[in-house]
Chain A
Amino acid sequence: MTATEIGSARRRSEDARLVTGRTRWTDNIAPAGTLHVAFLRSPHAHARIERVDTSGARGRPNVVAVFSGADLADEQGSLPCAWVVTDDMKHPEHPPMAVREVRYVGEPVACVVARDRTAAVDALEEIDVDYAPLPAVVDMDAAVADGADLVHGDLGTNESYTWVFENGDLDAAMRDAPVVLERRYVQQRLIPTAMEPRSVVCVPEGDEFTLYSATQIPHILRLMLATVTGVPEHRLRVVAPDVGGGFGSKLQVYGEEVLALLLARRLGRPVKWTESRSEGNMTVHHGRDQIQRLTLAAEADGRIRGLKVDLLADMGAYLMLVTPGIPLLGAFMFNGIYKMDAYSFTCTGVFTTKTPTDAYRGAGRPEATYAIERLMDELAAELGLDPIEVRRRNWIRHEEFPYDTIAGLTYDSGNYEAATEQALRLLEYDKLRAEQADRRDRRDPVQLGIGVSTFTEMCGLAPSRVLGSLSYGAGGWEHASVRMLPSGKVEVVTGSSAHGQGHETAWAQIAADRLGVPFDDVKVLHGDTAVSPKGMDTYGSRSLAVGGVALYSACDKVVEKAKKVAAHLLEASEDDIEFTGGRFGVRGVPDSGTTIQEVATAAFAAHDLPDGVEPSLDSDATFDPDNFSFPHGTHLCAAEVDTETGMVKIRKYVAVDDVGKVVNPLIVEGQVHGGLAQGIAQALFEEAVYDADGNLTTTTMADYLIPSAADLPEFVTDRTETPATSNPLGVKGVGEAGTIASTPAVVNAIVDALRPFGVSDVPMPCTPERVWRALRGESARDTAEPGAGGGLGSIGGAR
């Protein structure tokens, strides 16, 4: 029962409360006397605030207080950006509520605090604001052109920074190259859309505060809130209760969190705010939004010489917690799994009058993977090679690991051959290629395309020294403690708390295995700075690869200490003590022994401990990885494209992922499914659309189309297991892999189907209208209307 926990598909312990509605979402928390906040938000993309008159709202029934940004100007501070990527990065002030100017639709300008939420919302209508509209800055190319209207007039430019990485002699690589491909791809803007809206409750108690928030980052949030508001860190407790999904969007310090704390401090009462979906779509940070200009040079046999990447990355109106760093995570990944002689990466961060961007599942790496995997298909088409073959000629071979890449990383392990062979088999690649040829011959109106994505990502963010070298404001270690209670039961504390990833189960599996105790004897605690004082939180597929490893070492430390105690109790030398299945025995004395639970009891009683051993059986560990981990895999998508209607139907999707050692295959598979859904959604469905005046036209779930069960296919998933060598557990991380790999696989499939018609690209999302236009040689009109081209219902997805 013990000793096999790691690797077992154990059902999740967190489910018991989640399937019965006994959940603790932040919005379920309402201490007596709670006041409710509602925000008045800017209807303009860009305007000067001439006057805010809150007097009408103050007199409304049940209204307790009303504040404009100016009212709080002295204390509200500026929201933090922890990733200053260059010394001269432009970093504008970012007040939680706008004071003089608004710069995106949805930016808060005033708030009402009332006895109930309805009263607060009603009173918003009584606030008068005079705006003097200023020019909206929507398009990135226009934003960096000479004479562009400025988002922040005082900065004199819309460019926040330019960040460059170069390795190898790119000029030489490009010079006389037999093949040179130039492409421009757009990563459309996405809205992360966790199902749980954001919510925050702040409870004051004298000069101390407990702040509950639907956040991925209770620890970082506490530090940042302390910095912004001046409430000392040790007088502030942050709790992330059950959190209903994040996907990066809750890796943030939001203005509403700062204001909840300020208002609770001012009013001395608990203060609560929960967003509506439509204000969420405007104000949760968005993801992606890049224009990529790429040049790839290759030999006639398909071997890559060099790659040049020029990015414009939309920051939106302000820099949020890690906004500038997101595209840089892609800098290390544009080369994918391929060898090349030269590489150059330039990224310009651009301000626009739109919602700020930041991390969304994959964060920088999906954008990079999309570019290189699309380019690999273009290269194959250019040379008349099979897309698998062109990849084989370029990828790092199994025997070449560890491998120093052109982008400056060391890939520790991988086996691209194995994952690819497996995926080809599962798809029945040759059979589908034959069918494709047949459909082409028959001029079938429904064409078949096969899309390939052989990818890697870097995750387990991150070695602290690497973060330091990239000027990120903190380290990337993670912390765990293990406490064996006097009764022999175990409490595990982790700094990395979950929002759907099943930590309570996986962490208990690790502890049960290492300590040799039953799974049910382990309780995992997380998400509360009072309970779990140290941590770097949950993002970037780091939880298991960093936090899980910290737990692994903490368990080993406990066993080491227990061994000393056991030796003492058994009157044996420590060297003669063996530990298996939770039992300490003396080598060669079969009937002797004591359990780890008995040792815990003895360590608690402390009547007879060896010299120098402190009472109680517990330990802490912190793990700071010395390298990233590099999950990889091969995803194949077979898609049918109706050339008459533009409809795309995914016929078969195969994902073979290598995430190293697997702790819980059930959870891993679930993470892959969810990731695939989000990556496929980028390829086919989702886009945050702004009109020319900077109005977001996809503010609701009716306009911003996330796929339903009817829009997605069954996935065929499998895996290979090449353990990471950069951590003792051999784990890599899985949360983002599906998203990163699937977007290019789907678009490659669509383009593959349409190549005989001269189509070499379809911009994302590949709606029926865009596919249809591409077939007619029209460059897709950049649709200003949400869901133009039919929307999900008429796409029919992959039914």
Chain B
Amino acid sequence: MPRIRVEVDGATYEDDVEPRLLLVHYLRERLGKVGTPVGCDTTNCGACTVLLDGLSVKSCSVLAVQADGRDVTTIEGLGAGGPHPLQRAFHEEHGLQCGYCTPGMIIAALDLLRENPDPSDAEIREGLEGNLCRCTGYQNIVRSVRRAAGDMRRPAQEQEAAS
């Protein structure tokens, strides 16, 4: 069995894993990182989205061995130092109901805002196309991301203004 060394939410793990083991199952079953749920088996729902070296991936479409030597951030790592602006915004804008899609939505939105810090509503909708939610009708998710985008841009603008 191949041995992998992965950094997950700031801690380093070394494990022997079966080559076919998916990253999501490695996270959930081996590391107990159950904050990332599974919603499908065809890579359609996005519930399992995590950051791999800072880019969002559906962790059900990545093998654990592919994460060797890389850095993974899950929803549990995201809020480690107090709630992230996206976590706050989803709460403020009622961007979740059952919450099953939420970790994946937040991580996908994080990647979206990294690429496009000031997206239009249409760009948010398109950017989240790979993440399905059955509860919210998406409207408040779009609002949440828009709000977080504003909150996340603000410090930068304030810095600019100060310099």
Contacts and interface: CB of A to CB of B under 8 A. Distances in A.
Contacts of A11: 91-92, 94
Nearest to A714: B139
B140 to A, nearest CB: 6
Interface in B67-102: 74-76, 78-79, 83, 87, 90-92, 94, 96-102
A677 interface: yes
B79 A20 contact: yes
A193 B134 contact: yes
A708 B131 contact: yes
A673 B139 contact: yes
A622 B83 CA distance: 39
Interface residues of B, number: 56
A25 B100 contact: yes
Contact of A195 (B41, B45, B76, B138): B45
Nearest to A30: B29
A500 B98 contact: yes
B149 interface: no
B35 A501 contact: no
B6 interface: no
B44 A247 contact: no
A28 B38 CA distance: 11
A781 interface: no
Contacts of B31: none
A674 B94 contact: no
Which among A19, A25, A673, A676 has the greatest number of chain B C-beta atoms within 10 A? A19
Given A677-B137, A710-B125, A20 B35 contact: yes
B26 to A, nearest CB: 12
A669 interface: yes
A278 interface: yes
B90 A674 contact: no
A670 B97 contact: yes
B128 A715 contact: no
Contacts of B56: none
B2 to A, nearest CB: 16
B117 interface: no
A701 B122 contact: no
Nearest to B74: A21
Given A18-B102, A709-B125, A195 B75 contact: no
Contacts of B136: 670, 673-674, 677
Contacts of A678: 134
A700 B45 CA distance: 10
Given A18-B96, A195-B47, A708 B137 contact: no
B53 interface: no
A12 B91 contact: yes
A511 B102 CA distance: 28
26 contacts: A11-B92, A11-B94, A15-B90, A15-B96, A19-B106, A21-B74, A21-B75, A21-B76, A21-B103, A27-B38, A28-B34, A195-B134, A242-B98, A244-B98, A245-B100, A276-B41, A277-B42, A277-B45, A278-B41, A670-B136, A701-B39, A701-B40, A709-B129, A714-B139, A715-B137, A799-B125
